[in-house]
Amino acid sequence: MIHLRIVAPEEVAHQALELLCGSPAVINVVHLHGASYKPRGDVILCDISREEASIIISDLKELDIPKVGSIAVEHVETAISDAAVAAEKAAPGLPSDAVVWEEVQQRTSEDTELSFSFAAFMVIAMQIASVGILFDQPILIVGAMVVGPEFGPLAGLAVALVRRQRALVRRSLLALAVGFPLGILLTLATVLIFKETGLGPATYTAGDHRLTGFISHPDFFSFFVAFVAGIAGMISLTSAKSGALVGVLVSVTTIPAAANIAVASAYGDWGEMSGACEQLAINLTSIVLAGVITLFIQRRYYVTRRRKHLSDPARSAAGLPVGRSVHSRRERKHT
């Protein structure tokens, strides 16, 4: 279930109540008259089945509640109620597969910021991966995967392309365009220090790195793994079945390749460096492509349901047009 806290002026709040009470997927509707002081207005609390959350929130947006008040979205981890079971049955699909698009938008917006922590994690992940490559230690490659934060901007780019959001495209590309080169350059400096001080191996040859050699030798499976990892990452982002291992899956195809560019450059192995660059390019493209395809399919399903919902009589009771959206032009643009 999804819990909503809505703050709106009295007149708009009553319109929202008509919408919420008219949906069989909404329960526990509570109206607190004049309870909000900043901004002034009423407070409405309710629980919605996850499958209908974005549908209902879209209706609330048509009432311009985000402009005159606010809508807060929270997860209900456990709901012990026969009414909650009935609400979930009233909505098509399964809660674990439902996409709350507002939640996806918020997650990707936060994860695409070029912050100090993002840059730091990119550098740290590549530093760890470089040691794993130098000494042919897959366990250190796995450690680098855990640290790598690059899936955030990649997912943000996929979301932005599907929803045609130029600002999000720019933020995602900026994070990737700064994060990867910064990590590679600082990792190159570190590996050169290791080489000159004798802490690292004196030579670097592909034959000495059989366990990690796949990082700089792209083939069909490079594309396949990256593509499948991109699908897994996007499904994790959009559904309730998220897990930390998804980030590891995605990082296996990006951070090690970027780190190998630095390692091969430090030792002057331009063939290995070229292979690592090719691997990184294939991986990044495959992940974004997989994300766009996955999101497009999920988005089309939502748009179909949304259009069907526009004929709901509850919209008329709330003062909204039946059969079309108040923001019809804007919705067509983002679908």
What pLDDT, on the 0 to 100 scale, is given for residue 245?
46
Domain ranges of the chain: 2-98, 104-299
**CATH number of this structure's domain 2-98, picked from the four choices 3.30.450, 3.40.50, 3.30.70, 1.10.260:** 3.30.70
Three-state SS at 42? strand
pTM of the model: 0.83
Average pLDDT across each block of 10 residues of the chain; the chain has 335 residues. List them in order. 95 94 93 94 95 92 94 89 90 80 83 88 94 88 85 90 90 94 96 91 73 78 87 81 50 81 91 90 92 92 89 86 73 50
Q: Tell me the β-bridge partners of 30.
A: 45
Rounded distance between C-alpha atoms, residue 179 and residue 261, angstroms: 14
- From residue 172, how far is each of 86, 108, 177, 253, 320 by CA, in Å? 40, 9, 9, 18, 36
What pLDDT, on the 0 to 100 scale, is given for residue 20?
94
Q: Which of 46, 134, 125 is nearest to 84 (CA)?
A: 46
Backbone angles phi, psi at 150, to 5 degrees: -70, -15
Dump pLDDT digits (tens) for 113-130: 889 999 999 999 999 999
Dump pLDDT digits (tens) for 137-155: 888 888 888 888 888 899 8
Asked whether the beta carbons of 237 and 249 are under 8 A apart, the reply is no
- From residue 225, how far is each of 102, 220, 254, 262, 266 by CA, in Å? 29, 9, 11, 23, 28
